[in-house]
């Protein structure tokens, strides 16, 4: 298990800044996911961590040692890529043996004909390590196949196996599931989580898929435009985003954003209606509320109204898309099938906001403190 510390990592390609001073402290044994839109610098940061790329400035530390100038092969990290990078002409067993041979056999011992004679017992030892890893990953029956004879999920497992045999101090994974079909991707999320628990090793995982990040990670680092915006648990980045961009990137369906106004006394109104929240900031704000925190209500209790434009029926939940009667905004409500069936097409839909889950963002897009207004406090 390794503690990895990135300090103030900056990178420019030519004159284009790609990373603007990223600092991140990855705890031993944690499953940390770097998530952000395509092109925000995730792979570059991971490549700097692995040593494949040099930072323009800043340092990489592994277990207290500055490895910024250390060759990738000496950092004892395992990298798993989206393209599995397996050798097509070698069997699964030979693919998994290769990194061990590179590490444990000298040049003579690696020669095709003489090598096996020189290093018989060493090779047996390495093959035992491959068998043990194959057992763990349940790919023992695939050892004699070639990559072309494997399914996507099996290839992914072999690529992991090849990374695992060396017992690295940390696994670095760059979008390892993005070549798999949707069902297999969901299944592999569970497998990777289980594998992380079993190996008890630091995982640094890169994805652009926020759902993948939310389901697997002990902590998530949200990146955008070469900056780290927030680092926290899934619950923290989902429920307490520190920034409007994080709120909009994390969660599906996307968080609802409505225009709000905070009066001189700190009272928040949305479309001129009080929502039961007091703020410290003043003036115009963006008000975020997730689909599960909007509810159907009576016209008297409603903060705003609208009409249905579209519904997504997922069986257990129904996402009802509503055009707000101001003619400009749209929101999504998560309803139970029973609630959704009470709405007839063309009906006016009256909507309440749960004040306990209202997120307020100031004009700089930073989240501003919002508390329940007196009138909405639950009596003790």
Ligand X SMILES: Nc1ncnc2c1ncn2[C@@H]1O[C@H](COP(=O)(O)OP(=O)(O)O)[C@@H](O)[C@H]1O
Start-to-end CA distance of the chain, whole Å, equals 46
Please tell me the distance from the alpha carbon of residue 20 to that of residue 6, in angstroms, as a whole number.
Answer: 13
Q: Which does 44 bind (CB under 5 to 8 A by kind): Mg ion, ligand X, none?
A: ligand X
Please tell me the distance from the alpha carbon of residue 244 to that of residue 229, in angstroms, as a whole number.
Answer: 10
Q: Which does 18 bind (CB under 5 to 8 A by kind): Mg ion, ligand X, none?
A: ligand X
Binding of ligand X by 157 (CB under 6 A): no
**Cβ atoms 241, 359 nearer than 8 A:** yes
**Residue appearing with tokens 């690529």:** 159
Closest-CA residue to 260 (of 242, 247, 279, 245): 279
Minimum CB–partner distance for residue 116 and ligand X (Å): 40
Binding of ligand X by 44 (CB under 6 A): yes
Minimum CB–partner distance for residue 42 and ligand X (Å): 4
**Cβ atoms 216, 193 nearer than 8 A:** yes
By beta-carbon proximity to Mg ion, the closer residue of 147 and 176 is 176
By beta-carbon proximity to ligand X, the closer residue of 212 and 308 is 212
Minimum CB–partner distance for residue 218 and Mg ion (Å): 21
**Quick one: tokens of 294?**
């909007």
Binding of ligand X by 40 (CB under 6 A): yes
Minimum CB–partner distance for residue 125 and Mg ion (Å): 37
Task: For 134-185, give the secondary structure using H, E and C.
Answer: HHHCCCHHHCCCCHHHCCHHHHHHHHHHHHHCCCCCEEEEECCCCCCCHHHH
Binding of ligand X by 123 (CB under 6 A): no
Burial 171-183 (b: 16+ CB within 10 A, else e): bbbbbbbeebeee
- Could you tell me which stretch among 40-48, 160-168, 254-262, 304-312 binds ligand X (CB under 6 A)? 40-48
Binding ligand X (rule: CB under 6 A), the pick from 31, 42, 60, 188 is 42
Q: Which does 369 bind (CB under 5 to 8 A by kind): Mg ion, ligand X, none?
A: none
Q: Which chain residues interact with Mg ion by CB under 5 A?
A: 43
- Could you tell me which stretch among 41-49, 146-154, 300-308, 354-362 binds ligand X (CB under 6 A)? 41-49
- Residues in the site for ligand X, rule: CB under 6 A? 13, 18, 36, 38-44
């Amino acid at each position: 298990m390794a503690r990895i510390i990135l300090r103030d990592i900056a990178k420019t390609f030519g004159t284009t800044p790609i990373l603007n001073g990223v600092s991140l402290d990855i705890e031993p044994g944690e499953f940390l996911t770097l998530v952000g839109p395509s092109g925000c610098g995730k792979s570059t940061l991971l490549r700097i961590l692995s040593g494949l790329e040099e930072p323009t400035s800043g340092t990489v530390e592994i277990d207290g040692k500055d490895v910024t100038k250390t060759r990738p092969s000496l950092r004892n990290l395992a990298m798993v890529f989206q393209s599995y990078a397996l050798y097509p002409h070698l069997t699964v067993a030979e693919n998994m043996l290769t990194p061990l041979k590179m590490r444990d056999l000298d040049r003579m011992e690696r020669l095709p004909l003489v090598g096996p004679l020189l290093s018989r017992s060493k090779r047996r030892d390495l093959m035992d390590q491959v068998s043990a890893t194959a057992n763990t990953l349940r790919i023992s029956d695939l050892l004699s196949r070639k990559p072309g004879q494997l399914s996507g999920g099996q290839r992914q497992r072999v690529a992991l196996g090849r990374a695992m045999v060396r017992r690295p101090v940390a696994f670095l994974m760059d979008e390892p599931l993005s070549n798999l079909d949707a069902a297999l991707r969901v299944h592999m999320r569970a497998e990777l989580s289980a594998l992380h628990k079993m190996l008890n090793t630091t995982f640094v995982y890169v994805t652009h898929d926020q759902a993948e990040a939310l389901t697997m990670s002990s902590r998530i680092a949200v990146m955008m435009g070469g900056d780290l915006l927030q680092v926290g648990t899934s619950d923290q980045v989902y429920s307490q985003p520190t920034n409007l961009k994080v709120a909009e990137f994390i969660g599906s369906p996307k968080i609802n954003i409505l225009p709000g106004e905070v009066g001189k006394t700190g009272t928040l109104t949305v479309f001129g209606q009080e929502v039961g929240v007091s703020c410290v900031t003043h003036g115009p704000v963006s008000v975020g509320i997730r689909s599960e925190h909007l509810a159907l209500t009576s016209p008297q209790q409603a903060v705003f109204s609208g009409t249905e434009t579209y519904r997504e029926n997922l069986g257990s939940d129904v996402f009802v898309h509503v055009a707000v009667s101001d003619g400009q905004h749209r929101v999504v409500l998560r309803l139970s099938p029973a609630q959704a069936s009470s709405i007839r097409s063309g009906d006016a839909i009256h909507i309440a906001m749960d004040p306990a889950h209202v997120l307020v963002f100031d004009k700089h897009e930073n989240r501003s403190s919002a508390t329940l207004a007196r009138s909405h406090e639950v009596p003790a």
